[in-house]
């Protein structure tokens, strides 16, 4: 009789552990699921610095592939625009200006941009500066200024 009773107590203890485990998993899943729909508040400083990082990375990737200097040297502005459009997230608008070392605009005839001018009047504009030294034996640095806005 005593043996049966103690076995019952043991099973009860196991069930408690199972319940505790299930409850913990339930809480974890709930947190993970809610996180999918969470809209984090945007701070002006945080958003701009995030966009700056994205912009810097995109320009650096293009530079690593030796594409930046080619676009600038041969004035392939349409290809440059296409490369940025493909590389940046779809909800990010951009405007890139190429300057020489005396801060004269090089791409005057063809703007490298995506998005209307009003978009860039927002206060959430991130700005990235990048320097490209030259191409194919010619040292002729150009400074790229990339403005980014999330749409």
Partner 1 sequence: MRLGRGREKKGQFIIIAALMMAIMIISISSIIYSAVTYFKHERWEEYVVLIDSIKTGTSRVVEISLANYTQTLTNTILSSNLDRWSNDVKQAYAGFGVILTYTLRQGTVQAYGVSINYNIGLNYTWYKSTSFSAANTSASLSLASAGLTGYNFTSSAFLKETILAAKYYDSANPKYLSKYLSIYLSIEKEDLIPITNLKKDNFALKVDGSDVPSADLSFSRYFSGTYSMFIYEIRYSVTSKPTGVSVTATDTRSIRVIANSTVI
Cα–Cα–Cα angle for 64, 126, 59, rounded to 5 degrees: 10
CB-nearer residue toward partner 1: 52 or 115: 52
Structure tokens at 20: 């505790």
Choose the binding region for partner 1 from 74-82, 88-96, 109-117, 139-147 (rule: CB under 8 A): 139-147
Q: How far apart, in whole angstroms, are the C-alpha atoms of residue 148 and residue 145?
A: 10
Structure tokens at 127: 């700005």
Sole binder of partner 1 in the list 1, 5, 12, 17 (CB under 8 A): 17
Q: How far apart, in whole angstroms, are the C-alpha atoms of residue 59 and residue 55?
A: 6
Sole binder of partner 1 in the list 37, 91, 116, 137 (CB under 8 A): 137
Give 76-108 as a DSSP string: -HHHHHHHHHHHS-TTEEEEEEEE-TT--BS-S
CB-nearer residue toward partner 1: 13 or 151: 13
Q: Which string of x and - marks every residue 33-52 that binds partner 1 (by CB under 8 A)?
A: ----------------x--x
* Closest by Cα among 95, 76, 100, 84 to 148: 95
Residue 18's H or E segment, with its range, is helix 2-37
Q: Does 24 bind partner 1 (CB under 8 A)?
A: yes
Choose the binding region for partner 1 from 58-66, 88-96, 104-112, 114-122 (rule: CB under 8 A): 58-66
Q: Does 91 bind partner 1 (CB under 8 A)?
A: no
Chain positions contacting partner 1, by CB under 8 A? 3, 6-7, 10, 13-14, 17, 21, 24, 28, 49, 52-53, 56-57, 59-60, 63-64, 66, 69, 101, 129-139, 141, 143
């Amino acid at each position: 009789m005593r043996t049966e009773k103690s076995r019952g107590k043991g099973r009860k203890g196991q069930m408690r552990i199972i319940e505790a485990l299930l409850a913990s998993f339930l809480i974890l899943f709930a947190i993970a699921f809610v996180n999918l729909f969470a809209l984090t508040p945007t701070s002006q400083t945080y958003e701009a610095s995030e966009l700056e990082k994205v912009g810097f990375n995109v320009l650096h990737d293009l530079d690593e592939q030796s594409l930046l200097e080619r676009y600038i040297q041969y004035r392939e502005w349409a290809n440059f625009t296409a490369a940025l459009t493909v590389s940046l997230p779809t909800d990010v608008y951009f405007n890139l200006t190429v300057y020489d070392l005396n801060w004269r605009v090089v791409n005057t005839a063809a703007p490298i941009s995506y998005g209307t001018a009003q978009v860039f009047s927002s206060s959430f504009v991130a700005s990235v500066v990048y320097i490209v030294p030259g191409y194919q034996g010619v040292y002729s640095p150009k400074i790229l200024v990339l403005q980014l806005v999330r749409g």
